[in-house]
Amino acid sequence: VAVLRIEDDRGRILVQIGTAEPGDPTPTLKIELPGSKFIDEETPEEAAKRIISSRVRFLQGSVDHIRIDPVDEECHVSHRYKFFTKYLRTIVCMRVSGHVDAPSACYPAKCTSSSKHADVAEELRDRTVLLEQLDGKLFLYTWLYPGEKEKYADPSQAEMMRCWLESLEIDVPGFDAGDAQGSSSDSQHGFLSVIAVAPARISHTW
């Protein structure tokens, strides 16, 4: 797979926090960096460009190539299939500058299911939730500070994160970039690291 690590000038990382299907007004919690599997024989660089042009289109025109970092290895053990896989990871560093325009969800109302959940909702209340639609599916993104992705992705935080996510005001069935309830136009200056992960048996030369 190819995974994007996008950093702004405040050191925050763009993280996908959920998805929503047409007809279902309740988003599904899914905290991860935006990414995609490779298609056919495309290179990591081609995959990165494809992801930017589809999954995070609001970054188009705001990305400048900086450098390609040395390839490193990443190992995973499949708990489901019980096998070990080694990956080659190529990081393509790029700069994000200029205005980032994207439809956004309305700020959530205060979560009242419990005081603990309300605290989390309040902590994230000032975060802009960016929206992107692909093949009828809605993807929700926000900027998180270093360490927050791991914190909020922890299973112990799932219920609290769902509370915040479900309180967002999003009209999923009628969602369209031109009809979104809000709009975010921020001047973002930072770095985008495209982490392209491919099986070790495949060698890419850029």
Q: Could you read off the pLDDT of 72-102 as tens digits, one per residue?
A: 676 767 666 677 777 666 666 677 776 777 7
Q: How far out from the chain centre does Cα 113 lie?
A: 27
pTM for this predicted structure: 0.72
Torsion of CA 35, 38, 39, 42, to 10 degrees: 120
Question: What 3-state class would DSSP assign to 107?
Answer: coil
Within the chain, residue ranges assigned H as helices are 44-54, 115-123, 148-153, 158-166
- Strand pairing class (190-199; 84-96): antiparallel
Mean pLDDT confidence for 153-167: 85
Domain boundaries, the chain: 2-166
Question: What 3-state class would DSSP assign to 184?
Answer: strand
**Residue 36 · residue 2 · CB < 8 Å:** yes
Helices 158-166 and 115-123, packing angle to 10 deg: 60
Q: Confirm or reject CATH 3.40.5 for domain 2-166, answering yes or no.
A: no
Q: Which two tokens stand for residue 173?
A: 């069935």
Q: Torsions phi, psi of 52, nearest 5?
A: -60, -40
85-99, 118-132, 178-192: which has the highest mean pLDDT? Answer: 118-132
Residues with Cβ < 8 Å from 129, sequence gap 6 or more? 17, 104, 105, 140, 141, 142, 168
